[in-house]
Amino acid sequence: MPFGEGVSINRPPLFCGVNYQFWKVRMKIFIHSTDKGIWESIENGPFIPQVKRDEVFVDKPSSEWTEAENKKAKFDWIAKNIITFALSCDEFFRVSQCSSTKDMWDILEVTHEGTTDVKRARKHALIQEYELFLMQKGESICDVQKRFSHIVNHLMSLGKMFDEEELNIKILKCLDRTWQPKVTTISESKDLTSMSITSLFGKIREQELEIHRLVVQESEDKHNKSIALKACKQQPDSCGSEEET
């Protein structure tokens, strides 16, 4: 089980070495919700107050730190506490000797996402997967949305940027020919530059549900007609057969 936490918004998500990218996004949200300064200490390293002496900047003695400097310097320890609390035993020992949370975060990232070259190769593979993306035979719109969002979210985590119109056009083009009337309607009536992909999938999903409703209704009508026909055959007089004179 990769995530053992989640029962409280006050506890960071537990990482056991599986699905790092999912955990990474959740941790960023958790840390930002606690204090933006904590995340800045992870990104930029611990804050060490400095003072200029003899035209040279040197580390400021802790006894001379202001209240604001003390608070900012403490962010690294708070971040370290949050990260270590969120790691399983194996992951904790991987980073337990790091001097700062930036080092801890960087080690986790390289271990579970790879080096810059590995990320670049993964990004290129995902871009190709995105470009070739098509709706599969028998696939529901929910399944299409899940696969598409998975690719796009991973690409965005690797630095690839998209605008709404590009994503919406890609979605409409990936659908099979049975969806062409709906694609044409949406393309002509909606502003694809401002519509979110969630809204677009929602509109396509509405059509899918309506088609399903009509199929079920048609099936029920055929079933009812079949029952009525059998009843007529069993009771010819009540179904309009000629009466004997």
Q: Average pLDDT of 193-202?
A: 88
Q: How confident is the model at residue 245 (pLDDT cuts 50, 70, 90)?
A: very low
pLDDT at residue 220 tops 70:
no
Q: What are the extents of the domains in the chain?
A: 20-113, 116-207
CA angle at residue 62 from 57 to 64, to 5 degrees? 75
pLDDT, averaged across the chain: 85
Cα-only R_g, the chain: 30
Q: Average pLDDT of 215-232?
A: 69
Q: How confident is the model at residue 236 (pLDDT cuts 50, 70, 90)?
A: low
Tokens (6 digits) for 89: 């035993």
Summarised one tens digit per residue, pLDDT across range 127-152 is 999 999 999 988 999 999 999 999 99
CB atoms within 10 A of CB 202: 13
CA angle at residue 155 from 118 to 22, to 5 degrees? 85
Distance CA 31, CA 141 (A): 34
Distance CA 48, CA 100 (A): 12
pLDDT at residue 215 tops 70:
no
Distance CA 85, CA 79 (A): 10
Q: Which comes out higher in pLDDT, residue 29 or 180?
A: 29
Least confident window among 32-46, 121-135, 169-183: 169-183
